[in-house]
Each structure stands twice: as C-alpha cells, then as structure tokens.
Amino acid sequence: MHVIHPPKLSDAAADDDDSPEVLRTYQAWKGSNKFFLGGRFIFGPDVGSVFLSICLIVAPVAVFCAFVARKLIDDFSHHLGVLILVVVIAFTFYVIILLLMTSGRDPGIIPRNAHPPQPETMDLGMEVGPGQTPQLRLPRVKEVIVNGMTVKVKYCDTCMLYRPPRCSHCSICDNCVERFDHHCPWVGQCIGRRNYRFFFMFVSSATLLCVYVLSFCWVYVIRIMHSENTSVWGALIKTPASIVLIIYTFLSVWFVGGLTVFHLYLISTNQSTYENFRYRYDRSENPYNRGIFGNFKEVFWTSIPPSKNNFRAMVQREPKPPTRVSGGSFINSNNEKIPIEPVEIDGVKPQWKNEATAGGGKRRSSLGRSGSWDLESEAASVTGIGYSDRMSRGGSSGSLGGSLEVPVK
C-alpha cells in the first residue's frame, strides 16, 4: 500500500542532504539487520546475543579444561588424557563456527520490491462516490498449487510482494524470509532456508558437547572415588568445578537436546517451527512432505541456494519520497495525482500530523508480522478481519488526521 505523506513545509531543507548518491546495498538496507565487514556478514538486530551464546559455550569449556581435563591428563596413559583436552577444544571451535555460520549469513531474505506489483484483477470492493477515484487494491491472498495441493500465499505490505509458499515476514529483522522457521534470539538471526542446516548442526553439536563435558566430569569424579576410596559425595566435594559443570551441562542438555529432538521431528515431517505452531499439519495435509528420507535429504543433502541479495552491490540512493504538491494534488511515485480535499468537521479544518506520529506505523500490519508468534492477529488477518477493518479506518484517517493511505494501484 502506498502511503502518501502530507506536504512538508519546506522542501529546501530536504535538499540540503549531501550524502553520496551511490551506496552499497547494505548501507541502504531497509530491514533492521546489522552488517559487519562492509556487508560481508549479515546479522539480526539482536546480534549481541551471539556473544552471550559464545560466552555460555566457552566459559564452561574453559573451566572444564582447567579443572577437569588437565587433571585427567595425568590419570590416563598413552596420550589418551591429552586427547580428552584436544577433542573438547576442537569440538568447541566447531560449535562456534556453526553458530557463526548460522547467524552471520543471509537466512534467505527475499529482496523488497520498490513498487507494489500490478494487480491482475481489479478489486472494486469499496464504494466509489461521484468524483472519487476508484480504489484498486491487490488481493490479500493468492492461491498457488504445491504438489497438487492448494496453498495460500499472502501479500506482504512491507516488502510489497506475494510471499512464496513457506515464506514469512520476520518482525524482528523486518524481512520476508524463505522457508521461515523462527527468529532465534540465541543466534541473533532468522532461521530460514539458507541457514537451517547449520542451525540444526549447531544445536545438535552443542548437545554432544554438553554430553561430552558431563561424561568426563563423572569420569573424573569416579576416578577420585576409586583413588581415595570415598563416596560420590566425598569425591564431589573435592572437585567443586565438576559440581558446577555437572549441574550446568545437565540443565543445558535438556534445553539443546530437547531442541535437537524437536527439530529431528520437524525435519522428518518436513515442517518448519512456524508451520508446526501455526498449522499443525497432519501428515497427509502437508504438501511439502516427501517421506522421511526425502525430508532429511532436503535439509542435509541439497545444495543451499545462493543469496538473493548482493549486500555489497552499488545502488543508487532512492529518490526522495514523493512530497511535492502540484496544483492541490500530491503526486505519488506512479505519477498519479491524488487530490487533496481537507474535510471540515464542525467548522474546523484538520491539521496534517507529523509524519512520525501519523504515518510511522501505518504500513505495519499484523499480516506482515509473523515472527513474533502473534498467532491471534495472524489468524485475524488470514480471515481478512484485520485488513478490511484497517482499510476502512485507513481511508478516514487519511483525510482527517495523518498520512493519506491510498490502496495500491
């Protein structure tokens, strides 16, 4: 939907902008992602949580190396003790690399359109009075056939595109992501088509790392029991680091292990987390199900498609938003004139509100906000309640208060 902003008081002020005309895609990025190394790495806005996650992995491993593995070196012969230390360090690096491969890459973002697509059919659903322009709008939902089954795809107001099947708009990153699974706060990134494999490998490897540390802590405790001929409690008291690690890894293994098992179930039935919470497919209804082997093959043995975004490509700075006034009309980006007719209510003419307060949140619809598990609003938007309600309110608020919200042409 186009939002036509109210006329600015002074256009000269806007022309003072001396920033360069050509910039890189990541510099002009409209999503809320954070980029590193000149757009070579893309993270979600909550990238800080990646460092927290790394600390939660490295800190217990460091304690394990210093207080448990180092002691076990002396206990085992034939370099076996050294191997315990080498394996845990190498495995930790592997887990962290998987974490960064999950969070630092494009999860499958579909580039936004600069303009809404042309409607194939005109929807003249709204009443058109004499002298008014007929209001054309894009159908909110389209139906496509996937493997012989009808799947509904929705229009994204923010990205101005029809989302392909399994695509959803992440409310945190503000992008449409292919095969959207969920936005993971621990890796600070969306999990989608291009990083799901690494996400699963990260979670399952982290589970194995927990089991490894937990196991060797018990090995150490048992060796103390045998060497000092004491009870479990007697041995545990002698190694407080092991007590902390045993509790920490025991709790963690429920979390990452549970997640691993849940995703094994999702992979085997070819569902995303989002679809599982949203649709709860029966096995027969899921159009993506290819059988258990086909589903595992799809996740682990198919090539990952290249990114649809070149974050380092040079792009022209977008032209300024259409704000000029010509003969009592706005001219929007399609060079269409929209007459301005302020409505008088009780003899008082309305004032244009500030863009930030009036137009700021206008285009955000619950339709396009699916990453936040806002299932209620999603359900409402599917049935069209949310949209039609918003459409009618949008029409009146456009002339009374803030930005003119004109249905898409």
Mention every residue, 6+ apart, whose C-beta is less than 8 A from residue 296: 267, 268
Alpha-carbon distance of 148 to 133, in angstroms, equals 40
Minimum distance from CB of 406 to Zn ion (Å)? 20
6 or 31: CB nearest Zn ion: 31
- Residue 358 to residue 340: CA distance in whole angstroms: 17
CB-nearer residue toward Zn ion: 112 or 223: 112
Nearer to Zn ion, 170 or 217 (CB): 170
What are the structure tokens assigned to 71, written together?
């002691």
Cα 258 versus chain centre, distance:
22
Q: Cβ of residue 373: shortest distance to Zn ion, in angstroms?
A: 12
- CA-CA distance, 270 to 265, in Å (whole number)? 8
Q: Which residues contact 114 (CB under 8 A, 6 or more apart)?
A: 160, 318
Is 170 or 221 the residue whose CB approaches Zn ion more closely? Answer: 170
**Least Cβ distance, residue 252 to Zn ion (angstroms):** 24
Under a CB-based contact definition with an 8 Å cutoff, are residues 312 and 26 in contact? yes
CB of 188 to Zn ion, least distance (A): 9
Instruction: Choose between 5 and 163: whose C-beta lies nearer to Zn ion.
Output: 163
Q: 360 is written with which tokens?
A: 């700021």
Compare residues 158 and 249 and give the one whose CB is closer to Zn ion.
158
Residue whose CB is less far from Zn ion, 159 or 201 = 159
Q: How far is the CB of 103 from Zn ion (least distance, A)?
A: 10
Dihedrals phi, psi of 363, to nearest 5 degrees:
-80, -10
CA gap 187, 189 in Å, rounded = 6
Amino acid at 167: C
Q: How far is the CB of 143 from Zn ion (least distance, A)?
A: 19
Smallest gap from Cβ 167 to Zn ion, in A, equals: 8
Asked if 167 is an active-site residue, the reply is: no
Residue ranges binding Zn ion (CB under 5 A): 44, 156, 158-159, 169-170, 172-173, 176, 183, 190
Structure tokens at 401: 């208060």
In the complex, minimum distance from the CB of residue 164 to Zn ion, in angstroms, rounded to a whole number = 11
Angle at Cα 85 formed by Cα 82 and Cα 91, nearest 5°? 135
Round to whole Å and give the CA distance between 176 and 106.
Answer: 11
> 24 - beta bridge partners?
314
Nearer to Zn ion, 92 or 195 (CB): 195
- Check 173, 176, 184, 217 and give the catalytic one: 184
The set of catalytic residues is 184
